[in-house]
Structure 1
Amino acid sequence: MPSAFPLASPRPPAARRRPVAVASVATAALLLAGCTGDPAPTASSAAPTTATTSATPSPSPTPAALTVEGADAALTKAVAAVYEGRTGVEAKASLGTWGKEKVAVVTSGDDVTLAVGPRWKVVGGWWPSLDKGPSLGKGPRFVLVMGSDSRSTNLEGSRADTLQVVGVDGKGGAGVVGIPRDLYVPLSTGGSSKINAAFAYGGGRAQVRTVESLSGLPLEGYVVTGFSGFRKIVDDAGGLPLTIARSFTFLGLLDVKKGRQTADGNTVLAYARERKSLPDGDFGRSRHQQEIILAAAAAAKSQGVGSLARAMTITSRHSETDLGAEEALTFLATFYRVDPRKIGHTVVDGAIGTSADGQSIVKVTSSTRTPFRRLADGRL
């Protein structure tokens, strides 16, 4: 799904943002006018006209206070605390939402400050102008990204046909491990079945616990969307730049052309779901899903970290998650410090077999868990 590793209005309209910035500058100017220069002479204190006076140099102008375009007073104060009273700092805030929480990405040159609201709190960022390295949570970190087979906005009782464990090491590295939906494993809800059944029986947390048991990795949480939500995420974001290796017809309904293109929601969903034309079926489909995640990460990075707040708003509107705003904001921001071309990705393997009740399944083998062991440090 789009990152962002990718939306309510992500920023207040321009007509509202401009007065905030103007008011900040005007307030600073008024304060400067009240505290600089010499007091005007009064009748009693004025020097006699016959006195000889010498010119005095004009005082140096006082630097302007920190200003953050698009931010309210509380967010500006939170950002000012990062700069420890420095003046002359000009920044710009991009605002969005994650569930019921507000998020802000504030940029000033190469500096990035991440905050959550409405009582704004700085939760991370990186500040080269202050010689401060990135603060994006303690690595390694892992999140489960899922795509439900639900055709509606109600995901209850559906299965998680897309299962991708996304890891970051906090040092510029990352990795993605895909899990075939037919992998036959013990479920956290009891018994054994195809791994994607855990979501149908117990929701997102049950699926997380099942994947944790298989992988041995501590997952912070999950993000999941259905067919409808996935299409809307892509379309609301303006499409996804994607290279499709071969043409195919999906379910006899949609012709997908090969080549580099800005794919709409229907095309990206078809690419994520197609398996019949692939020589390795579900394994190939999982690789397609990883290509989509990496394409979204590359597109987001090319747009700049200021696009993150909008991307989070779009994703949050059309998905379900148990990640709080701070967790999601700092995790996703990590991908703006990673070269998407260097994100390793793979799909766990297994042996094709049949279950006791006659289902076609993928059996766990001695090498199935190897990719997870490689991802343990947050990168591949």
Structure 2
Amino acid sequence: MTSQPRPTDVRQPSALPADTRRPARSRLLVVARAGAVSVAAAVALAGCSTGAPGGTGSAVGASATADGATSGSKPSSSGVRVSGAPAPLAALVSRLYAGGDLTHTSSHSAAAALKTRKAAPGPVTARAEVGSWLGTPVAVVTAGDDVTLAVGPTWKVVGGWWPSLGVAKPSLGGGPRWVLAIGSDARKGQPLERTRADVLQVIGIDGQGGGGVMGMARDLWVPLATGGKGKINSAMVFGGPRAQVSTVRSVTGLPVEGYVVLGFSGFKKIVDDEGGIPIVIPKTVVASHAKNLVIKAGAQTLSGAEALAYARERKTLPDGDFGRSRHQGEVILAAAVKAKLAGPIAIPSALTSFSAVGRSNLSAEQILTFAAGLHQLSPLRVGRGVAQGAFGWAGQQSIVVLGRQARTLFAEFRDGNLS
């Protein structure tokens, strides 16, 4: 890891050129060719699992019906059949569709949304997929167009959407909401959460079908939550990911909810485990830091090593770190495409995979409702941008200074939408 001076030792930049760049923005395009799809929507890889049909993400996923049977084929007395669920979860789903009391088995927001629901008009056949988020059981249950999000081990409904029950709007934690996706620069033997943030991408949803992904140039010179000034990506070195989130909140004015962190090896493992990331590369890139690995232009599926190389390269790009941040956003958006195509049922498996290699301060309810919220996005209402600035110097360090372009981008993202 390249050393950086502590924030209290650095000097203020001087003779900084004016920032004349326009916001780096692009409206979401849906491009399908040779099996590759490129769409802007997002949350790092917390939703790109294809999910094996009928499979589970953890040991708590035994098949059961609402009356406690384990075959998954016998309907309950209320006419609700749930496959892939442990008995307590199946019983909860049965109460949901039968119009039963959910006062003590649902979150406040979900209870409010379900208060006026109607009982199911006929038999219900549902499928559950169960996984784990940092040790907490999570589940997604689908029945036709309905999706129910639940958190264990004492199962409760935390969100979802239920058109069959006459519920008008999805219950997904409201909006707007933002999460910070962090790529840690940790190498072998280094702590994942105490090294520089190699990737900083703010992912937002507005709660009304729109969203955005905003990259933060890692050399932005800003006040740090730990004190003093420094490059924005050094906040995690001095105070961990919570300090990194606090710094981003202060700089952008966005009330970022929390963070997800992945290292290089964890990122590659998730991508490879999920069969790669389908993406359309706009222009061939030679990854100088990865033995000149060539990422060719066009539709393709990137392996973990290729996706990492594409997301980290900056030396051969004409706009350097800004282009690198743009590429990172492209990878996130491409991963979100795969999530969108797999459907909400794939979320538990993806959260389980992330939990094995990543870190987060988001609760199971927060991540489950946020990830599911991505499936409510309209492709034409999601955009992306990169917070840029003018180049300058702080002592011997080359830095990027916040200017009008970045502040305009922050203001535009305050509704959770960059389209």
TM-score, normalising length: structure 2: 0.77
Alpha-carbon offset, residue 82 of structure 1: 2.1
Deviates more, 1:311-320 or 1:114-123: 311-320
Q: Does 1:76 align with 2:90?
A: yes
Alignment gaps of 5+ in structure 2: 1-42, 101-119
Check whether the contact 2:45–2:336 (CA below 8 A) recurs between aligned residues. Answer: yes
Deviates more, 1:256-265 or 1:245-254: 245-254
Residue by residue over 1:164-208, the C-alpha shift from the partner in whole angstroms, topping out at 9 and shown as x without a partner, is: 111111111101111100000010101111000000110010001
Name the counterpart of 1:40: none
1:80-229 superposed matches below 5 A: 80-83=94-97, 84=99, 86=120, 88-132=123-167, 133-152=169-188, 154-229=191-266
Name the counterpart of 1:261: 300
Residue by residue over 1:276-309, the C-alpha shift from the partner in whole angstroms, topping out at 9 and shown as x without a partner, is: 1211010011110111111111111111111111
Q: Does 1:3 align with 2:40?
A: no
Alpha-carbon offset, residue 131 of structure 1: 1.7
Alpha-carbon offset, residue 312 of structure 1: 1.3
Alpha-carbon offset, residue 25 of structure 1: 4.4
Distance 1:12 1:278, change over 3 A: closer
Name which one, 1 or 2, has greater alpha-carbon Rg: 1
Q: Aligned letter for 2:332?
A: I
Q: 2:353 aligns with which of 314, 321, 325?
A: 314
User: Separation in 2 of the partners of 1:178 and 1:150?
Assistant: 20
Name the counterpart of 2:104: none
User: Separation in 1 of the partners of 2:357 and 2:387?
Assistant: 28
Alpha-carbon offset, residue 261 of structure 1: 1.0
Residue by residue over 1:233-259, the C-alpha shift from the partner in whole angstroms, topping out at 9 and shown as x without a partner, is: 111111110112222332234232222
Name the counterpart of 1:66: 80
User: Separation in 1 of the partners of 2:69 and 2:160?
Assistant: 22
Deviates more, 1:337-346 or 1:222-231: 337-346
What root-mean-square deviation, in Å, do the aligned CA atoms of Structure 1 and Structure 2 show? 2.3
Name the counterpart of 1:301: 340
User: Separation in 2 of the partners of 1:5 and 1:18?
Assistant: 25
Distance 1:165 1:247, change over 3 A: same
Deviates more, 1:212-221 or 1:310-319: 310-319
Q: Aligned letter for 2:345?
A: G
Check whether the contact 1:2–1:234 (CA below 8 A) recurs between aligned residues. Answer: no
Secondary structure at the counterpart of residue 369 of structure 1: helix
Q: 2:385 aligns with which of 327, 336, 346?
A: 346
Check whether the contact 2:176–2:416 (CA below 8 A) recurs between aligned residues. Answer: yes
Distance 1:17 1:82, change over 3 A: closer
Check whether the contact 2:381–2:417 (CA below 8 A) recurs between aligned residues. Answer: no
Secondary structure at the counterpart of residue 241 of structure 1: strand
User: Separation in 1 of the partners of 2:195 and 2:94?
Assistant: 46
Percent of residue pairs identical: 51
Q: Aligned letter for 1:10?
A: T
Q: 1:277 aligns with which of 316, 324, 343?
A: 316
Check whether the contact 1:5–1:293 (CA below 8 A) recurs between aligned residues. Answer: no
Alpha-carbon offset, residue 12 of structure 1: 6.5
Check whether the contact 1:95–1:310 (CA below 8 A) recurs between aligned residues. Answer: yes
Q: How many residues align?
A: 344
Secondary structure at the counterpart of residue 405 of structure 2: coil
User: Separation in 1 of the partners of 2:412 and 2:351?
Assistant: 29
Name the counterpart of 2:34: none
Q: Does 1:363 align with 2:409?
A: no
Check whether the contact 1:21–1:67 (CA below 8 A) recurs between aligned residues. Answer: no
Alignment gaps of 5+ in structure 1: 32-63
TM-score, normalising length: structure 1: 0.85
